[in-house]
Amino acid sequence: MAGEVRQLDDRKLAVLRAIVQDYVGTEEPVGSKALVERHSLGVSPATVRNDMAALEEDGYIHQPHTSAGRIPTDKGYRLFVDRLAEVKPMSAPERRAIRHFLDGAVDLDDVVARTVRLLAQLTRQVAVVQYPSLSRSTVRHIELVALAPVKVMLVLITNTGRVEQRMMDCPGPVGETLLADLRARINAHAVGQRLPEVPGLLEELPAGFEAADRPAVVTVLATLFEALAEQNEERIMLAGTANLTRFGHDFPLTIQPVLEALEEQVVLLRLLGETGDAGMTVRIGRENAYEGLNSTSVVSVGYGSGDESVAKLGVIGPTRMDYPGTMGAVRAVARYVGQILAES
Amino acid sequence: MAGEVRQLDDRKLAVLRAIVQDYVGTEEPVGSKALVERHSLGVSPATVRNDMAALEEDGYIHQPHTSAGRIPTDKGYRLFVDRLAEVKPMSAPERRAIRHFLDGAVDLDDVVARTVRLLAQLTRQVAVVQYPSLSRSTVRHIELVALAPVKVMLVLITNTGRVEQRMMDCPGPVGETLLADLRARINAHAVGQRLPEVPGLLEELPAGFEAADRPAVVTVLATLFEALAEQNEERIMLAGTANLTRFGHDFPLTIQPVLEALEEQVVLLRLLGETGDAGMTVRIGRENAYEGLNSTSVVSVGYGSGDESVAKLGVIGPTRMDYPGTMGAVRAVARYVGQILAES
DNA sequence: TTCTGGCACTCGGCTGTTCAGAGTGCCAAA
DNA sequence: TTTGGCACTCTGAACAGCCGAGTGCCAGAA
């Protein structure tokens, strides 16, 4: 008995899979007859119809109107992604092309720019790449420069190639020797450390200086800590908005809120922020917290220079998207960007 | 006779102006009857019809099909902008709001970001703002930092607040004293100078150093010159793409190429590059060199911290736009950004 | 039980027709 | 040169009819 029940369920799942695949391809509600013709399900349309009725009752598919074919619901796509689809790996030539394209990058900006364009092109959707965030990266070097007697510039360089600078006004003149001393001591403690951990390591530093120098030292450290903590600076790059035109027929209505969402860095950051740290995250339709993206799906994943992810990237497309292909592209691109970052 | 001809022309111009205004408002072909009703032209519809026929013959307006109203052509808009429209000044409260909004900016990035959003909001169109270009700005400070024995980082700070950095590998180890010496001499010559003029001023510099140090000096200078010359780095910020949805009825067709154009920084840069240095530039429809923007108009103007323009900004909208209002907003925003830059 | 073929039914979308309204061009008269 | 009148054109909305895809259900077969 149990065996037969499972057998039944298997076929229903096969039907659902077929519906998703067909609908993604044709963009039109798919009926029982067309299904059996295109997929070798080994049963008659009538049987498929019964299965469809069951699937509809369970909320996996939906009928726009009586006497029309079926369309997968968000729940249907969810099941498809979770249990029915396999991430489609990139072909060897594709992988080579990705690798080659990213290899040409000259600096961090360029890496991000190339990545986002590549992703948009591969998936033919809207691509989003977050700059490697400061908090996950480590210090490569910290530089102090006296621009004027009391004006000091601080430059923070991270292992991901990001450069952050800050101006500050010290409470009094700062000598070149003091600055050199301070620079050396800061770097001795901070280089190679995670950004969020640096403040803790430098806590004792002012005590090692002459009392007269301490105000200046404190000012510099305060500015440094501020730069380290600056989370607002998380930036995002976008590409492929032109692909929005292929979104669907009821076009202007769908596209408007999406464009609005894309304009809001905050929304995009939150969107990527919801990406789990391990593995790929797929948010389908109404699963997205942001209302304007309720008719889109977001496929995102972390990427990083080592084992650990320092930032996220992903694509935004219609719920009716090619999930296996998109997921394959996203995963491949994330992997290669990670490699590039690790090498540089 | 001459007097009568001019009189006639005046009325035809009035008719054209009325057509443009009505069409911009309603987005629908405007007929003779509606015209006389809404504008007090003091003549009958039949007369207007005659004028319309003349205007059509001269190519200023156009009839989508027999028995429909008239629509202005690019040529018609051109005449309107050149002779019939007055730039509509911002109201005092609007000016205050602009000023207030821009005053909150904390750094250059923020200024540009706020400007572009403001412009998009005011005009309800797509706004484009170019970062103050390097070539027009002057050197505030040049810093050299040794990251490793042969690895040197160069940081270039301009008076517009922009920071550019470059890594380089020197042919041999570079001592701290040499670096300090070089830094001092470079800054002595370069600070306050226009970027393009700096290379000329530093030409003689290597001669002043020991023969052994010259290769390193040459490397540093080469990198500096490269950073100075880097025009590609001209960046652009964009906002208001969501306004594209209000473009028109034949929507997807119009919007696709525009979105594509907006993705290409090169296209946008060239677009702004075509802006004349003095006064506002309006490019209507096919006047735009880039084909994808053939059904849009671009209103752009230079802005700068002093008398001189260091960059351009503008908006992109449908040819059927409110030219007086848009031009007013663009001019006002450019003026205030200039003030902000001058102050900081 | 589960699957299948058959059958009646529903409904959206396409086609063709009609009709009203807006707009035109032209002409003769003021 | 302007104006009122008139005949004409064309679009777009409204409506009817038809076709076909697709459904649900049922009775019989496996």
Is the confidence at residue B252, as pLDDT, over 80? no
Residue A232 has pLDDT above 80, yes or no: no
Contact predicate A157/A142, CB 8 Å: yes
Average pLDDT over every residue of A194-208: 89
pLDDT digits (tens, 9 = 90+) for A100-154: 999 988 778 889 999 999 999 999 999 999 988 777 788 888 888 887 778 888 8
Mean pLDDT of chain A: 87
Establish whether the CB of A49 is closer than 7 Å to any nucleic acid atom in strand D: yes
Min Cα–Cα distance to chain B from A115, Å: 14
pLDDT band at B262 (very low <50, low <70, confident <90, very high): very high
For residue B151, count other CB atoms closer than 10 A to its CB.
14
Measured in angstroms, the CA of A239 and the nearest CA of chain B are apart by: 7
Residue-wise pLDDT for A1-49, tens only, equals: 333 333 347 889 999 999 999 999 888 999 998 888 888 888 888 999 9
Nucleotide nearest residue B56, measured CA to C1': C24
B153 and B167 Cβ atoms separated by less than 8 Å? yes
Summarised one tens digit per residue, pLDDT across range B25-75 is 888 899 988 888 888 888 888 999 999 999 999 999 999 888 888 999 999
Phi, psi of A142 (to 5 degrees): -125, 130
The first and second tokens of residue A53, run together, are 């009725």
User: Coil, strand, or helix at residue A58?
Assistant: coil
**Residue A109's beta-bridge partner residues?**
none
| C-beta of residue B52 within 8 angstroms of C-beta of residue B32 | yes
Contacts of B239 in chain A (CB under 8 A): 263
Nearest to B139 by CA among B163, B104, B103, B170: B163
How far apart (Å, rounded) are the C-alpha atoms in residues A197 and A215? 23
Instruction: Determine the pLDDT at residue A5.
Output: 32
3-state secondary structure of B68: coil
Q: What pLDDT is stored for residue A92 in this prediction?
A: 95
Residue B304's nearest CA partner among B277, B325, B284, B264 is B277
Q: How many CB atoms lie within 10 A of CB A180?
A: 13
Contact A165 B143 (CB under 8 A): no
Predicted local distance difference test score (pLDDT) of residue A226: 85
> Do the beta carbons of residue B155 and residue B143 sit within 8 Å?
yes
Contacts of B255 in chain A (CB under 8 A): 245
DSSP element (H, E) containing A79? helix A74-79
Cβ contact A64 with chain D strand, < 7 A: no
Torsion of CA A6, A9, A14, A17, to 10 degrees: -130
Which of residues 19-48 of A have CB within 7 Å of strand D? 29-34, 45-46
Q: What percent of chain B has pLDDT over 90?
A: 46
The rounded mean pLDDT for chain B is: 87
Kind and range of the H or E element at B45?
helix B45-57
User: Of B298, B306, B316, whose CA–CA distance to B337 is shortest?
Assistant: B306
Confidence of residue A344 (pLDDT cuts 50, 70, 90): low
d(CA A218, CA A204): 11
Among candidate residues B252, B129, B288, the one with its CA nearest the CA of residue A242: B252
Task: Tell the residue number behind the tokens 């609007």, with chain if given.
Answer: B94
What pLDDT does A155 receive? 83
* Phi, psi (degrees; rounded to nearest 5) at A84: -110, -20
The answer to whether residues B19 and B72 touch, using CB atoms and an 8 Å cutoff, is yes
User: Would you call B304 helix, strand, or coil by DSSP?
Assistant: coil
Residue B342 has pLDDT above 50, yes or no: yes
**Who's near A309: CB < 8 A, 6+ residues apart?**
A136, A277, A302, A303
Residue A57 CA and nucleotide D19 C1' are separated, in Å, by 30
Judging contacts by C-beta atoms under 8 Å, the chain A residues touching residue B241 are 241, 259, 262-263
Q: Which of B163, B251, B259 sits opposite A165 (nearest CB)?
A: B163
pLDDT tens for residues B102-138?
Answer: 998 877 788 999 999 999 999 999 999 998 877 778 8
Q: For the segment B280-289, what is each residue's pLDDT rounded down to a tens digit?
A: 999 999 999 9
With pLDDT > 70 as the criterion, what percentage of chain A qualifies? 95
User: Where in chain B does DSSP place strands (E)?
Assistant: 61-62, 71-72, 126-130, 139-146, 151-158, 163-169, 236-239, 281-284, 296-303, 311-318
Determine whether the interchain pair A259/B244 forms a contact, defined as Cβ–Cβ distance below 8 Å: yes
Query: Can you spell out the DSSP letters for A25-36?
Result: HH-S-B-HHHHH
CA of residue A74 to C1' of nucleotide D17, angstroms = 38
The verdict on pTM exceeding 0.85 is: no
Instruction: Determine the length of chain B.
Output: 344
More confident residue, A85 or B6: A85
Q: Which residues contact A241 (CB under 8 A, 6 or more apart)?
A: A126, A259, A262, B241, B259, B262, B263
Distance from the Cα of B30 to chain A's closest Cα (Å) equals 25
Q: For residues A82 and A40, is the Cβ–Cβ distance under 8 A?
A: no
Strand, coil or helix: B316: strand
Instruction: Please tell me the predicted confidence (pLDDT) of residue A4.
Output: 30
Between residues A231 and A336, the one the model is more confident about: A336
Give the pLDDT band of residue A251 (cuts 50, 70, 90): low
Nearest CA among B263, B165, B112, B127 for reference residue A113: B263
The predicted structure's pLDDT at residue B3: 32
In this prediction, residues A198-219 reach a mean pLDDT of: 90
Residue listed under structure tokens 């290899």: A103
Residue A136 has, within 13 A of its CA and on its CB side, a CA count of 18
What is the CA A224 to C1' C27 distance in angstroms? 87
Q: Report phi then psi at A172, rounded to 5.
A: -155, 175
Nearest 5°: phi and psi at A130? -90, 140
Say yes or no to pLDDT of A277 above 60: yes
Q: Residue B98 in contact with residue B333, Cβ under 8 Å?
A: yes
Q: What is the mean pLDDT of residues A199-224?
A: 90
Query: Distance in angstroms, CA of B250 to C1' of C26?
Result: 34
Q: How confident is the model at residue A201 (pLDDT cuts 50, 70, 90)?
A: very high
Over residues A155-175, the mean pLDDT reads 81
Task: Determine the Cα–Cα distance for residues B138 and A103; give it in Å rounded to an integer.
Answer: 34
The confidence band for B4, taking pLDDT boundaries of 50, 70 and 90, is very low
CA distance A17 to B205: 71
Tokens of B154: 């160069």
Q: Give the Cα separation of A234 and A259 in Å (integer).
A: 20
Q: Is a pLDDT exceeding 90 seen at residue A234? A: no
How much of chain A exceeds pLDDT 90, in percent?
46
Q: Which amino acid is at A107?
A: D
